[in-house]
Amino acid sequence: MNYFNKFLFFITACLCLAPFCALAQSSAINVSLKGNFDSVSCDSLTGWVCDANSYSTPLAISFYADGVIPGGKLIGSANANVTRGKAIADFCGGNANHGFLFSVPDTLKDGMPHKIYAYATNFSGGANLLLNANGKTITCSRCANECSKSGLMQCGGKGTQVCGDYDNDGCLEWSAIINCASGYICSNGICVNGTSAAVALVLSGLFPAGIVSGSSVLLAVNTNRTANCRYDIADKSFSAMANEFSTNNYMKHSAPVATVAGGRYTYYVRCRDAAGVVNTNAAIISFGKAGVAAAIPVADIVPPVISKLLPSVSVDKHQVTISCVTDEPAFCKYDIADVGYDSMKNLMDGSNGIHSAKVDLPNSGDQVFYVRCKDKAGNKNTQSARIDFNYSVKAVPPETTVEISNPLPAGKIYQEVVALAVVTDKPADCRYAPVNIDFDKMEGRFESVDGMSQKAIATLTDFGSYKYYVRCKDKTGGLGNSLAVIEFEYADPDRAVEREPDLPLVCDKYSLVKSDGKCNMKVDCVCDPDCGKNGKNIDPDCAKTDIKKAENNVNWTGVAVGLAVLVALTGIAVFVVKKRNGKVKNEDD
């Protein structure tokens, strides 16, 4: 004992009244102790403590209410063996496993203030050491819970509410409303993004890592905005993860886990914010426990971690492939019953980390398959991973009929490239062929912008009569289809015609094809005023009759004006087929 301690011990002995002298003496003598009583709430008491004379020994903490020893009431004790951060390790000789966590008993939740004192015991000095001499006060009520579980979410007003103990009374209540961001609405307790891509949820501060010691550690993760976080030993969806982190501000999250045996520990972490955004890839907290000989390779005593269980959505076929992935080479089995690995009846294919099996589904409805794996060291999963999905028999659509009208062109045409066109009474897929065959065997296909005005370009190989059979099928998947026929004659344009002066040409056929004022025979109509003869003038009847030669027979200015008005009003061009009302005489005659 140095001179300062001797002096302090002397003053204590002279001034203290029994029985508090022992406490004062222990505080003076045990200067090797380091620690702090950090915080109190109606849920738990936290802090840390270590003995400089024996950093490897976890100390015991005793808690007293409403007074120090011996007047206070002992309410419980805990071991200071919870792993904390680097700052605690720096104080405790490089060992971070000196934290303590104690749940507040219900006996203190009576609406009255209680001052809590924490004592460190079983250290090398031998006596009890009081952490934070003034203690810490809590007031917790025996109240009724407004909600059933901390972290639950509900819609309220224009946003969400989260269940938690916000007034530190030991009871759960709904938080104030957290308004959804612009463009979001609340649905089933979360804000749903309806207008733009959601901002990524970022997880950081994952702890611990490397090699740890102690019988338990504190998992920790931070989020870039308020969220609820969960963890599991397998990579699952957020909703399927079984374990929740605790949090006070929904941005810093922690959870104690046991680390009794040596080996590697891996936990998958997913978080979900108030808008329903979940981190796409699970964050991973991975660490090892090797005891004193940390440098010696850790024996494999951890079973495989199962992830990526498929299928996870509805299927409509009676035979499906189920699959999973393991983090190490393993053999996997599956069963419809949740039994041990050795009792499972079916072995999955694959042993190098990817496993699959084909299964027949006898009945529709929800399907569940349980999976367990065994690694090459013989470690078996003690809990099953689940493959959940729904099998629904695909409904056969009713047979429907499509009405086909306005088959074009018709009559006599004079050009080699022709636009075939039909109109359907409902959105449909249409096909054509020169012979009457089934819809699925027809090779010619129509195109359509609105699903009902159908168009196809056909190239004619020789002069003569043509017939195209058209079938259309309802786009809803109906099995029925309808038949129409396009019939016309491809006449030789080199066989010019003469017209009698008293029988002018008239326009009597139109096709729904857009006009752009430019001549393009593959896009424009059969006889299009856009198209000129040798680039010099228009040839409305496609018979190579010079407009100057026909001036005496028809008022082309009036026809052109009429066509211009039609285009302006409808935004479409026209197929124009010219014919005369009298007898046509060929030049060869």
User: What are the DSSP calls for 215-255, one per residue?
Assistant: SEEEEEEEESSSEEEEEESS---TTT--EE-EESSSSEEEE
**Which residues have CB under 8 Å from 444's CB, separation 6+?**
431, 432, 433, 456, 458, 468
**Which residues have CB under 8 Å from 513's CB, separation 6+?**
419, 421, 455, 523, 524, 525, 572, 573, 574, 575
CA angle 473, 477, 481 (to 5 degrees): 25
Q: What's the Cα-to-Cα distance from 251 to each of 101, 201, 210, rounded to whole Å? A: 20, 11, 24
Domains 203-289 and 404-490 share a fold: yes
Predicted local confidence at residue 396, as pLDDT:
57
Tokens of 391: 């099998």
Predicted local confidence at residue 574, as pLDDT:
38
Choose which CATH entry (1.20.140.10, 1.20.1260.10, 3.30.499.10, 2.60.40.650) describes domain 203-289.
Answer: 2.60.40.650
Residues 574, 563 contacting (CB under 8 angstroms): yes
* Residue-range domain boundaries for the chain: 32-139, 153-193, 203-289, 306-391, 404-490, 499-589
Tokens of 219: 């998992």
Predicted local confidence at residue 124, as pLDDT:
63
State which fold the 32-139 domain adopts: Immunoglobulin-like (2.60.40)
Predicted local confidence at residue 13, as pLDDT:
36
**511-530 burial: b if 16+ Cβ within 10 Å, else e:** bbbebeeeeebebbbbbbbb
Domain 404-490 - what CATH class? mainly beta
Q: Is the entire prediction scored with pTM above 0.75? A: no
Block mean pLDDT (10 aa), the chain, length 589: 42 35 38 83 88 86 90 90 87 89 86 90 72 84 78 80 80 85 74 58 87 88 87 92 87 89 90 83 88 48 87 88 91 94 92 89 90 91 91 69 89 87 90 91 90 90 91 72 88 61 39 46 44 46 39 38 39 38 34
State which fold the 306-391 domain adopts: Immunoglobulin-like (2.60.40)
Tokens of 97: 């496993």
Predicted local confidence at residue 331, as pLDDT:
93
Predicted local confidence at residue 110, as pLDDT:
81
Residues 531, 518 contacting (CB under 8 angstroms): no
Whose tokens are 């978080």? That residue is 271
